[in-house]
Amino acid sequence: MDNCGQFEIEEKLVPPEGDHNSKRLIGPLSNYEVYQFFKETKEGNVRGPKHANANKWKYNTHLNTVTYEVLQYLQQTPCVVQSPEIIEEFLTKLHPYNLTKSERLTILNTRPLQPVDIQAIVEESEERLTESQIEEILDIVDSTLPPLNVNVEAKKNDGPQE
């Protein structure tokens, strides 16, 4: 998650692995990770404080647009009040329910509160989960993931320490 900027430069005459213009799907990112990334981008210190130079980012209008719009969107989602510890605890507690990775990710990103939300997210939920299990999942969501409503204060507490 935090390994930006830690890589090795290959000074060899052979090209790095991978064909020219190859693309490979690595895997999904949670909203929280993307939010953190763009928050750092916005502050201009994504490569560490020694390279912090706001001007570098200023002239890339596309990146600025993306940063602004994604933050606008994500600031209204529950990811702003999450933290790696919360997410880990949440995923551990969710482990016994045999949900797929994408289902857990969606639950994490959307923080469902109603049984119907779970039924929409989980495929064939009638067969895979009993009603009491759905209630348990909702309890886990409610107890581990902080609600969005308090995020205004939380964000303010979060802000100055950066």
Contacting positions for other proteins (CB under 8 A): 3-29, 31, 33-34, 37-38, 41, 47, 51, 56, 59-63, 65-67, 69-70, 72-73, 77, 102, 106, 109-110, 113-114, 116-117, 119-121, 123
The CA distance from 50 to 120, in Å, is: 46
Q: Residue 114 CB, nearest distance to other proteins (Å)?
A: 6
- Whose Cβ is closer to other proteins: residue 33's or residue 89's? 33
Contact 90, 140 (CB under 8 A): yes
Q: Decide whether 26 or 156 has the Cβ nearer to other proteins.
A: 26
Q: What angle do CA 109, 113, 117 make, to 5 degrees?
A: 75
Q: Which is nearer to other proteins, 33 or 161 (CB)?
A: 33
**Residue 123 and residue 99: Cα distance in Å, rounded?**
9
Closer CB to other proteins, 115 or 146, in the complex: 115
Residues with Cβ within 8 Å of residue 9, at least 6 apart in sequence: none
d(CA 51, CA 9) in angstroms, rounded, equals 18
Q: How far is the CB of 36 from other proteins (least distance, A)?
A: 11
> Least distance from C-beta 158 to other proteins, angstroms?
21
Which 8-state DSSP code applies to residue 18? S
Distance of closest approach, residue 10 Cβ to other proteins, in angstroms: 5
